[in-house]
Amino acid sequence: MPVSNAKHTYTTILARNGNTIAEVKSISGPEMSLNAIDVTHLNSPDAFKEFVGGMRDGGEVSIEGNFYPGDTNGQKGLHDDLVAATMQTFVLTFPTAMATTWTFTALVTKFKTEAPLDDKVPFSASMKISGKPVLAITLSTGMSGWAGIEENAGAALVEVPGFAIGTFEYSCTVNTLSTWVKMTPTAAAHTITIHDYFDDSYQTVASGNQSGALDIGAADTVTQIDVTVQETGKVAKTYVFYIVRP
């Protein structure tokens, strides 16, 4: 029996200006189209209409999700882009196994919230693509090295398992007195972005350079910190670190 190559949509994300839009439940688009120009004439062969290709249209991207006003650089950012008519950069990233992204610039043309009876508060938004959306199907090479993690209540920390280029999830336990960590990733020719889920903050660091302080949660909590590396025109790779504070 043939085995399908289909992949589950779980972990698909849409990022606005490098910031993942929170709690998105569905994404539609891009829906590209080509204008067909009718060039039929009185002697068209076999009395069939003839067409030539005209202008292309990148179409729209529409999203729906759970409304979270605290998502300053995501959902609230979409609202602000619409009000200011700001052209923004977006990256739609499918699950890692697919190694596929759409990158496009767009204007936010719709932003909507609702208040249905006995239900969650949803939001929806639409983005009109300007220019050509770029479909990338090649993975970035990823991190080439890892100088480790440092905490403010001690020295270097040990991640588990030990770092390897092809391993994408790690855990690390800090001293209970630590309130932040710093990371030093290496990925030449990549853009390196660190996302601290504790305060939903982002940092961009140069390859081989140490990040600024990344705040972590209180004692008896786990803070997720993602390190995303991306080469131009290729699909990003994300390394997830779970920082345990006992």
What does the pLDDT look like over 28-42, one tens digit per residue?
Answer: 999 999 999 999 999
Query: Does one domain contain both 27 and 57?
Result: yes
Is there a domain that residue 73 lies in? yes
The domain boundary residue, chosen from 136, 155, 179:
136
Give the CATH number for residue 126: 2.40.10
Cβ 223 vs Cβ 181: under 8 Å:
no
The domain boundary residue, chosen from 95, 111, 136:
136
Query: Does one domain contain both 102 and 22?
Result: yes
Beta strands in 67-144 (DSSP E): 88-93, 101-113, 122-136
Residue 234 identity: K
Query: Does one domain contain both 172 and 207?
Result: yes
Structure tokens at 15: 């990022």
Query: Does one domain contain both 132 and 165?
Result: no
Cβ 109 vs Cβ 58: under 8 Å:
no
Is there a domain that residue 46 lies in? no
Query: Does one domain contain both 128 and 158?
Result: no
Is there a domain that residue 205 lies in? yes
Q: Structural domain tally of the chain?
A: 2
Query: Does one domain contain both 179 and 229?
Result: yes
pLDDT digits (tens, 9 = 90+) for 50-69: 999 999 999 999 999 999 99
Cβ 5 vs Cβ 23: under 8 Å:
no
Q: What is the pLDDT of residue 154?
A: 65
Q: What is the pLDDT of residue 2?
A: 63
Is there a domain that residue 132 lies in? yes
Is there a domain that residue 4 lies in? no
Give the CATH number for residue 207: 2.60.40
Q: What is the pLDDT of residue 21?
A: 96
Query: Does one domain contain both 132 and 152?
Result: no
Residues of the chain with pLDDT below 70 are 1-2, 153-155
Is there a domain that residue 122 lies in? yes
What is the domain extent for residue 173?
A: 145-245
Query: Does one domain contain both 155 and 241?
Result: yes
Query: Does one domain contain both 131 and 18?
Result: yes
Query: Does one domain contain both 30 and 104?
Result: yes
The domain boundary residue, chosen from 136, 160, 187:
136
| Residue whose pair of structure tokens reads 């990733």 in the numeric block | 185
Is there a domain that residue 99 lies in? yes
Query: Does one domain contain both 18 and 131?
Result: yes
Question: Collapsing DSSP states into helix, strand and coil, what is residue 29?
Answer: coil
Is there a domain that residue 41 lies in? no
